[in-house]
Amino acid sequence: MVVPGMFDPITLDQLRALVAVVEEGSFSAAARKLKRVQSAISTAMSNLENQLGVPLWDRTTKIATLTDQGQAVLAAARRVLLEVDGLKRLTAGMVLGLEASVSLCFEALFPTSALVDLCARFAKEFPAVDLRVDSEVMSAVSRRVLDGRATIGVASPPALVPGLERRPLASIQLVPVVGPRHPFASHKGKLSMARLAEAVQIVISERSEAGVPDQGVLSPRSWRVADPHTKHALLRANLGWGTLPEHLVRSDIRSGKLVLIHPEGYSSEASRVQLFAIHRSDTTFGPAHRWVLGQLETLCVRDAGAFRGRKRRAPASI
């Protein structure tokens, strides 16, 4: 018996033979699967036991079964083979120009369900490629793309800056809402601008003073928040009025947790926010990035429930 730590290198062929014997049920079946003679499989198992210094097989029965030590070795062998197969996929992809990683930054208005589906499809399509996903508001998306922390961004018009290529995706419909106990919830007909200005308006605001000015502010009594999900929670708590993406509040409107209001002069056409895929003009994309660009429009249109808009839009209240 060889002392552990002093054995010859264990081969991947031995580990694959071990897994094949267990999965196929016998040495002869494993030999057929691996296109080897049975004696080669038996020799591989014997050598593996000698090199590890522990018995892998209980040979007192008619059909060889794994010992407790063998079960532990089998689990470790499977992990090793998974890592090796992943390494092969990674390097094979690199030969074909596949990137090692993809970094994305999404405007917080982007539909979460579309983002989750994108990531799920990406994991299936590119299992060896690392993925980083960040969420920001307005100009912060462009900053991450410009400084190279994200290769592809998804941003709304206020965030677009020179030096970035853009591809239109879909329009996000913003709708004005309040909580069910807010005074506006029971108002019939149009709300005048004067009355809107008297109430607290909850507005998404840039984290940085150097960012884009607040958009669509109608009331001097405004509360600033940094993301649509905080704004959503405050509106549901009847603490003000404001607009949110229709896809975000769709179920709340149906259930009565939020109520649509009708501001004077409100136009659904003017309250669409166009989203764009953005990237630096000097970026060369590999297959994973090209795949992401191709998926973005389909998923965004599906979950936003909106159309691709190419006409110039009036600034919407956010």
- The reply to whether 107 and 143 lie within a common domain is yes
3-state secondary structure of 134: strand
* Own/partner pairs, 209-217, CB within 8 angstroms, 24+ separation: 210/139, 211/138, 211/139, 211/140, 212/138, 212/139, 212/158, 212/159, 215/158, 215/315, 215/316, 215/317, 215/318, 216/243, 216/315, 216/316, 216/317, 216/318, 217/317
- At residue 73, the pLDDT reads 86
- Does residue 318 lie within any of the structural domains? no
Is the pLDDT at 50 greater than 90? The verdict is no
Is the pLDDT at 210 greater than 70? The verdict is no
Q: Rounded to an integer, what distance in angstroms lies between the CA atom of residue 48 and that of residue 38?
A: 15
Longest CA–CA span in the chain (Å) reads: 91
pLDDT band at 1 (very low <50, low <70, confident <90, very high): very low
- At residue 64, the pLDDT reads 73
- The reply to whether 149 and 294 lie within a common domain is yes
- At residue 299, the pLDDT reads 84
- At residue 317, the pLDDT reads 44
- Does residue 316 lie within any of the structural domains? no
Is the pLDDT at 312 greater than 60? The verdict is no
Instruction: Name the token pair of 237.
Output: 């708590």
Number of structural domains in the chain? 3
- The reply to whether 63 and 106 lie within a common domain is no
Q: What pTM did the predictor assign?
A: 0.61
- The reply to whether 127 and 219 lie within a common domain is no
Q: Rounded to an integer, what distance in angstroms lies between the CA atom of residue 16 and that of residue 43?
A: 13
Strand bridging mode 65-66 / 57-58: antiparallel
- Does residue 5 lie within any of the structural domains? no
Q: Tell me the mean pLDDT in the region 147-155.
A: 91
Q: Is the dihedral of CA 279, 282, 285, 290 positive or negative?
A: positive
Q: Is the dihedral of CA 234, 236, 240, 241 positive or negative?
A: positive
As to burial, measured by CB atoms within 10 angstroms (0-12 exposed, 13-18 middle, 19+ buried), residue 196 is: buried
C-beta separation of 102 from 279 below 8 A? no
Is the pLDDT at 155 greater than 80? The verdict is yes
- At residue 43, the pLDDT reads 86
Where are the alpha helices (H) located in the chain, listed in sequence order?
A: 12-24, 27-34, 38-52, 68-95, 112-125, 139-146, 193-198, 228-236, 246-255, 287-304
- Does residue 6 lie within any of the structural domains? no
Q: Which of 38, 69, 95 is the last residue of a domain?
A: 95
Domain coverage including residue 179: 171-272
**Tens digits of per-residue pLDDT, 90-104?**
565 555 567 888 999
- At residue 196, the pLDDT reads 87
Report the candidate in 12, 158, 180, 169 with the shortest Cα–Cα distance to residue 88. Answer: 12
- The reply to whether 194 and 66 lie within a common domain is no
Q: Tell me the mean pLDDT in the region 139-154.
A: 89
Is the pLDDT at 116 greater than 90? The verdict is yes
User: Rg of the Cα trace of the chain?
Assistant: 29
